Amino acid sequence: MNQMTREARLLQTFATLADTLVDDYDLVELLQFLVDTCRDVLDMSAAGILLADARGQLEVVASTSEASMLVEMMQLSAQAGPCVESFRTGHAIAVPDIAASPPEWTQFRDSALSQGFGSVDALPLRLRDVTIGTLNLMRATVGPAPAEDVVAAQAFADVATIGILHERSLRESELITSQLQAALNSRVIIEQAKGVISQVRGIPIDEAFDLMREYARAHQMRLSLVASSLVERTLSL
């Protein structure tokens, strides 16, 4: 990707994220767009977003691959790893060499290494003193991520967080919780729909997800609606 294209994609990303401040939007699709952009524009191997549910428990809501989702799930299972630490502290956590992770992160380390990841950065989705989740950037190589990429990713996360909360963090906390829970519920249905497509079409899960997204965009439908239609068998791809 040449510099002009990279700068144009960065600006396009900010414009898309900013639309959440003034327009109706599909939260799951927005966050999927964010992780895809981090992978493609910032040259990450994979990226994922975890959001806290009504109980404050993290759940995977967007991921660029099954491999990165597995690593994130292992962290959640063990309640230990960079994304969990970032959520707890509200600070960015950099792990330039996953093999050298602390002993308490053993499950995360083993899972990440087995999936071919060498380093990771976990960035908080935070506004003031409210942290609602984390953005996780994974790389196949060992070493720190370029500083400008981390700055750009944190800026993406900040704008997305503002869009999600949209000035309701203090006055409409119940609505925020409902919105986040709806996104998490939608992701469950999307995972089921991916399985349906994969089984019917005989294709890998990642390809099934791409097919579902392409259909949603082509027909200008929300991803969550397409997923629920597939699960209910009122739609077939």
Taking residues 215-230, what's their average pLDDT? Answer: 90
Gap between the Cα atoms of 210 and 194, Å rounded: 9
Cβ atoms 72, 86 nearer than 8 A: no
**Nearest one of 176, 94, 85 to 127, comparing CA atoms:** 176
Phi then psi dihedrals of residue 219, to 5 deg: -105, 10
Give the integer Cα–Cα distance in Å for 100 and 95.
8
Domains present along the chain, CATH in parentheses: 3-171 (3.30.450.40), 172-237 (1.10.10.10)
DSSP category for residue 53: -
Question: What local confidence, expressed as pLDDT, does residue 80 receive?
Answer: 85
Read off the pLDDT of each residue in 18-44 and give the average, rounded to a whole number: 78
Cα–Cα distance for residue pair 82/48, rounded to 1 Å? 12
| pLDDT for residue 171 | 52
Q: Judging by DSSP bridges, how do beta strands 93-95 and 46-52 pair with one another?
A: unpaired
Average pLDDT in the 230-237 region? 88
User: pTM of whole model > 0.85?
Assistant: no
Beta strands 46-52; 58-63: pairing state: antiparallel
Q: What is the pLDDT of residues 160-197, one digit of tens each?
A: 788 777 644 545 556 667 777 778 888 889 999 999 99
List pLDDT tens digits, range 76-130: 776 888 998 999 999 999 999 999 999 999 888 888 898 889 999 999 999 888 8
| Residue whose C-alpha is closest to residue 183's, from 63, 56, 61 | 61
